[in-house]
Amino acid sequence: ETLVHKKYVHIGIAVDTPDGLMVPVVRDADTLGLAGIEAAIADFGQALERDPGHLPARASRALLLVEAGDHAAALADLEEIARRSPAHADHRMTGLMHYYLGDCLAQEGRLEEAEQAFQKEVTLFPHLTRARNGLAMLYEASGRTDLTARTIEADCELRSTLAMKARSILILSNGKLSR
C-alpha cells in the first residue's frame, strides 16, 4: 500500500441536500493563509446573502469556523441547520451538524443544550460513537459519573473492540473536550 502526498490542500465539506450531495471546496487552502481562508468563508457568507436557505454554504461556513476555533460564530449556522434538518433527519450530514453543534455549545459553556444536541445525533445515528464520547465528557465534567459509566458501556458494547474501550478510557482520563 502506498500513501500519495499531493502538493496542495483543498478543503471540501460534503453536504447532503434535498437536491443531492454538494461539496463546496476551498481550493489551495495551503497557499491561502488565514486571511485567504477567511475570504473563502466570506464567499460562503455571500452565497448565504443571495440565498439564506443555502444549506451547503451554511454548513461549509460553519465547519470552517469550527476548524478555525470560532465556535461562537459557527453556532448561528449550526443552530439554523439543526432547526431545518428534521425533513432530512436520515442524512449523515445532519448527524454531523448536531455533533458540531453540541461541541460548539459545550465550548461556549451551554452544557444542557450541548447534551441535547449530542443526544439528537445519538438518536439519529445510534451506530456512531462521536456524540457518545461528547456526552461522556459532559457527564464526567458535571460529576454525573453514573451517566458517564452507562454512556461508555453503551459505546463499548457498540464498538466492542479493545481499541475503542481504550479510547473511551483515555478520553475520560483527560477530563476535557479533545479533538
What is the per-residue pLDDT across 51-100, written as a single tens digit (0 to 9) for each?
666 677 777 788 878 877 889 989 988 888 888 765 444 566 677 788 88
Q: What is the largest CA-CA distance in the chain?
A: 49
Rounded CA-CA distance 69/136 in Å is 22
22 contact partners, CB below 8 Å, separation of at least 6: 14, 15, 56
- Tally Cβ neighbours within 10 Å of residue 130: 18
Residue 165 cell numbers, joined: 474501550
Considering just the CA atoms, what is the radius of gyration of the chain in Å?
Answer: 17
Q: Is the distance from CB of 123 to CB of 90 less than 8 angstroms?
A: no
Rounded CA-CA distance 121/86 in Å is 12
Task: Give the model's confidence band at 155: pLDDT under 50 very low, under 70 low, under 90 confident, else very high.
Answer: confident
Q: Poorest-confidence range of 14-23, 58-67, 121-130?
A: 14-23
Task: Give the model's confidence band at 166: pLDDT under 50 very low, under 70 low, under 90 confident, else very high.
Answer: low
Comparing C-alpha atoms, which of 5, 6, 3, 51 is closest to residue 24?
51
Rounded CA-CA distance 93/85 in Å is 9
Residue 105 cell numbers, joined: 455549545
Helix then strand then coil, in percent of the chain rounded to 5, is 70, 5, 25
